[in-house]
Structure 1
């Protein structure tokens, strides 16, 4: 199958999955409405096909949408390029600025990654059998601190960057009101490192949503959320942990 056709098919699959369910959109706005108010700034790091950008904009936020993959950046430009409240940044995010190699999952671009450890952890893991990263490209890397320096302090940061979340948080020295980061059960250590970084930044309360769920469970201490992640069944696969100061 021609690579360009495969890439287009992968993007269309993601658009159907993430933009095709109105009830999910309403639940997402209810979830993020706990953290974002109209007129505030939000960062969507790993914006993919922009479902979170859409939710943040419906809440009235200004959005910095960070996405290094050319095919997904073009998709975001088609969806939000005329919206002056959305700034598109064609970059990855890490602990230091520079460049890095991104491994591209052509058929499922939302799990493309900068992390070779993420790919290694996926091999042989239930639920990941069909995933492959046959392409790679060099992408620019910025930091959360640099984004804050250029665009201002957000009220909320969302991180979904496939095993690179702790690296991105290592490049943050400005504590914001709240943030979220993706975790996977194939790489619990990355989630643990992200929790530790959040504690170092001063976050004290944590909650989580499994998979693509849009409802938070109980708020916990750092020790409690770490224990929850450590004992989560492997079949849970992934989700997002939310952190706030109090």
Structure 2
């Protein structure tokens, strides 16, 4: 019980207690979302992005499989008609799956046993233990689109399950993001391949929770092969971040 309470408190402090983070987040996501837009938060966790996106005027579908964080999201946003909380995971097909939960560090709970085995050998995960598992319902991005509409932006942060989430999407979205973790480099490349399978996209990278872009020549968006070069350079640094994607234009900006 103490471990569980510690994990919940740690997530609250990390995602809601850092001064200035919400302001930076709103400024960053204003490039993707505005009043009346729809956003999907896949892996909503403690709801910090939900909070920022609502301040931008966007409607939010917050998808979260961990029961403790579903309760937290409903506590924070249950009376907000602009937020829909979906208590589920997202994957390649609907059904059920077992979610591996780390009670002390719930932000790294994951459906992917392969990802957990991969990162367990990384120094940054030396103290992480996945000490519980619960069955959770699984939906797909296609089902979410059918139920709620096409989002202007979709954030995917599901600890190594990103490729499976994207496998449940059959059309490109106006913009999306997925997590990059150097210890699970191949998982990010698999997610990138899923995005490209939907059509040619362009990309930018933002280092871990900085809400700033990694510099590119002229501030332009990159082709997939150029993004891979960026990730290859970031890999030895051992710090995570987020890849942002949007369908390619004839002349990417």
What is the TM-score with the length of structure 1 in the denominator?
Answer: 0.96
SS at match of 1:95: coil
1:35 is matched with: 32
2:180 is matched with: 183
2:105 is matched with: 108
Q: Whole-Å Cα distance in 2 between the matches of residues 202 and 23 of structure 1?
A: 36
SS at match of 2:53: helix
1:45 is matched with: 42
1:166 is matched with: 163
1:72 is matched with: 69
SS at match of 1:34: coil
Q: Gaps (5+ residues) in structure 2?
A: 249-253
1:241 is matched with: 243
User: 1:203: how far off?
Assistant: 4.1
User: 1:122: how far off?
Assistant: 1.6
Higher mean C-alpha deviation, range 44-53 or range 225-234: 225-234
1:21 is matched with: 18
Q: Whole-Å Cα distance in 2 between the matches of residues 93 and 77 of structure 1?
A: 19
Contact preservation (8 Å) 2:183, 2:238: no
Q: Whole-Å Cα distance in 2 between the matches of residues 22 and 243 of structure 1?
A: 28
2:143 is matched with: 146
SS at match of 2:136: strand
1:156 is matched with: 153
SS at match of 1:158: strand
Contact preservation (8 Å) 1:211, 1:236: no
Q: Whole-Å Cα distance in 2 between the matches of residues 243 and 203 of structure 1?
A: 10
Q: Whole-Å Cα distance in 2 between the matches of residues 234 and 153 of structure 1?
A: 36
Contact preservation (8 Å) 1:207, 1:242: yes
How many residues end up aligned between the 2 structures? 243
Q: Whole-Å Cα distance in 1 between the matches of residues 123 and 237 of structure 2?
A: 8
SS at match of 2:12: helix
Contact preservation (8 Å) 1:186, 1:234: no
Q: Whole-Å Cα distance in 2 between the matches of residues 194 and 114 of structure 1?
A: 15
Which residue, 220, 223, 230 being the options, matches 1:221?
A: 223
User: 1:124: how far off?
Assistant: 2.5
Q: Whole-Å Cα distance in 1 between the matches of residues 210 and 238 of structure 2?
A: 11
SS at match of 1:241: strand
Q: Whole-Å Cα distance in 2 between the matches of residues 88 and 20 of structure 1?
A: 22
User: 1:44: how far off?
Assistant: 0.2
Q: Whole-Å Cα distance in 2 between the matches of residues 206 and 236 of structure 1?
A: 20
User: 1:21: how far off?
Assistant: 2.1
Contact preservation (8 Å) 1:102, 1:136: yes
